[in-house]
Amino acid sequence: MKASALNPWLLSVAPMMDWTDRHFRYLLRLISQWVRLYTEMVVDQSILLGNRAKLLDFNPEEHPVALQLGGSVPERLAEAARIGEAWGYDEINLNLGCPSERVQGGGFGACLMLEPERVAACMAAMRQAVGVPVTAKHRLGVDEMEDYRYVARFVERLAGVGVGVFIVHARKAYLKGLSPAENRTVPPLRYDWVYRLKEDFPHLTIVLNGGVRTLEEAEAHLERVDGVMLGRAVYEDPFVLAEADRRFFSSSRQVDRFWVARQMMGYARAQLERGLPLWAVARHMLNLFKGQPGGRLWRRLLSEGACRRGAGVEVLEAALERVMAESERRLGVQSGR
Ligand SMILES: Cc1cc2nc3c(=O)[nH]c(=O)nc-3n(C[C@H](O)[C@H](O)[C@H](O)COP(=O)(O)O)c2cc1C
């Protein structure tokens, strides 16, 4: 499948609670102009009853950005989707894959895979409420299910109410006995099932998620599916996306870590002015120099300095100077200077 900017789901970064907030998404957007971004899951009731600006505000640079919702009541989800669209989101996604006890307690997330009729009603109501795409993010099944036909029927049912995009975390979830983190590692990955979904439903957009670490791996999957979503690999090393625009979106743009760090300083300054602590931004920058000369030093200086009360951007400036010095020193050693 030829990678093309015409397919909005070609490459995306997964919704990750506590990680993919607006500050991390801003950082990612500096690295890639094209990759599709997802919010953390926001529960529909929080949007209906809570502080919308706090939950939904994002930076205009973040587009294309999708709002992920959690919920299981059609009317509430429809209303939350409508608000999300009015807020400017480019897509509304429904979480059908989170197995955490808290989420199960609310009756949504992965346990909804057991209730295709309810999910179909939810998605139909959301689709009716908004004009932007309404998409599903789900697993291959739950608990003891070992049946490809189940997930195929699930997809078919949702396609029946007009859902066209399915982001498939390529493993099932255990609703009891595993923590959310274990549920992202213990159930084996079954990429073959995701490929088969694409073969069986060629008219649907099938996005593969789970365990993809590099753009090379993403490219290989793109031979078989329409899109790839990366999660942990991007948080652990955001520069894994550095080549994304050139490789997948025919862009000649090139960025380096120092430029990104400097842009983030300007951004952090603006956030401080809004009254946020430096750490709200700096915590997402810890892995910016992952695997680079001075990368550990950078992480240590930020961890120690940026979480202090009243810390300012000078912590980042000082850390960057140290990393630049370390980088030059290593280059000097390598070239025998
Ligand atoms: C810290 C963390 C938080 C997550 N939060 C969400 C979430 O809010 N909604 C969701 O659908 N998936 C969530 N996930 C799952 C990811 O979206 C993704 O499906 C999973 O990590 C597998 O992809 P990966 O192997 O590329 O990380 C989370 C994962 C992590 C690591």
183 C-alpha to center of ligand 1: Å?
Answer: 10
d(CA 243, CA 33): 11
Q: Inform me whether the pLDDT recorded for 2 exceeds 80.
A: no
Q: How confident is the model at residue 333 (pLDDT cuts 50, 70, 90)?
A: confident
DSSP 8-class letter at 173: B
Using only the alpha carbons of the chain, give its radius of gyration: 21
Q: Is a pLDDT exceeding 70 seen at residue 5? A: no
Q: Whose CA is nearest to atom 11 of ligand 1?
A: 95
* Same domain (yes/no): 110, 196: yes
Instruction: Identify whether residues 244 and 264 lie together within a single domain.
Output: no
pLDDT score at 335:
73
Residue nearest to atom 7 of ligand 1 (CA): 16
Q: Verify that 271 and 226 share a domain, yes or no.
A: no
Q: Does 16 appear as a known binding residue?
A: yes
> What's the mean per-residue pLDDT of the chain?
95
Query: What is the structure's pLDDT at 7?
Result: 94
* Alpha-carbon span 220 to 276, nearest angstrom: 41
Determine which residue's CA is closest to atom 10 belonging to ligand 1.
15
| Best mutation site among 24, 232, 235, 287 for ligand 1 pocket (most ligand atoms within 8 Å of CB) | 232
Cβ atoms 35, 11 nearer than 8 A: yes
**Is the domain of 30 the same as that of 163?**
yes
206 in Cβ contact with 225 (< 8 Å):
yes
Please answer whether residues 302 and 286 qualify as being in contact, where contact means their C-beta atoms are separated by less than 8 angstroms.
yes
Active-site residues, by number, are 98
Mean pLDDT for 306-328 is 96
Angstrom distance (rounded) from CA 313 to CA 276: 12
Mean pLDDT over 6-22 rounds to 96
Give residues (CB < 6 A) around ligand 1.
14-19, 40-41, 68, 95, 97-98, 137, 169, 184, 209-212, 230-233
What is the per-residue DSSP string for 199-214? HH-TTSEEEEESS--S
Note whether residue 3 is domain-resident.
no
CA-closest residue to ligand 1 atom 30: 16
CATH number, domain of 290, equals 1.20.120.1460
Atom of ligand 1 nearest to the CA of 213: 26
Q: What is the pLDDT of residues 133-191, one digit of tens each?
A: 999 999 999 999 989 999 999 999 999 999 999 999 999 999 999 999 999 999 999 99
Strand positions, DSSP E, the chain: 11-13, 36-43, 65-70, 91-96, 134-138, 165-169, 205-209, 227-230
Asked if residue 329 and residue 189 are part of one domain, the reply reads: no
Q: Is residue 41 part of a domain?
A: yes
Q: Do residue 173 and residue 281 come from a single domain? A: no
Q: Would you say residue 225 has pLDDT above 50? A: yes
Residue 337 has pLDDT above 80, yes or no: no
SS3 content of the chain, % helix, strand, coil (to 5): 50, 15, 35
Distance from residue 16's CA to the centre of ligand 1 (Å): 5
Centre of ligand 1 from the C-alpha of residue 337, in Å: 45
Q: What is the pLDDT of residues 56-92, one digit of tens each?
A: 999 999 999 999 999 999 999 999 999 999 999 999 9
Range of 228's domain? 11-249
Q: Do residue 240 and residue 298 come from a single domain? A: no
232 is in an annotated binding site: yes
201 and 234 in a single domain? The answer is yes
Out of 249, 279, 303, a domain closes at 249
Q: What is the CATH number of the domain that holds 99?
A: 3.20.20.70
Last residue of a domain, one of 249, 272, 291: 249
> Is residue 228 over pLDDT 80?
yes
> Do both 225 and 94 map to the same domain?
yes
CA of 24 to the centre of ligand 1 (A): 14
Asked, for residue 134, whether it belongs to a domain, the answer is: yes
Place of tokens 């205009």: 60
Q: Name residue 57's amino acid.
A: D
Query: Is there a single domain that holds both residue 241 and residue 261?
Result: no
31 contacts 241 by C-beta, under 8 angstroms:
yes
* Cα gap 42→15, rounded to integer Å: 10
235 and 304 in a common domain: no
Residue 4, domain member (yes or no): no
For residues 233 and 291, membership in a common domain is answered with no
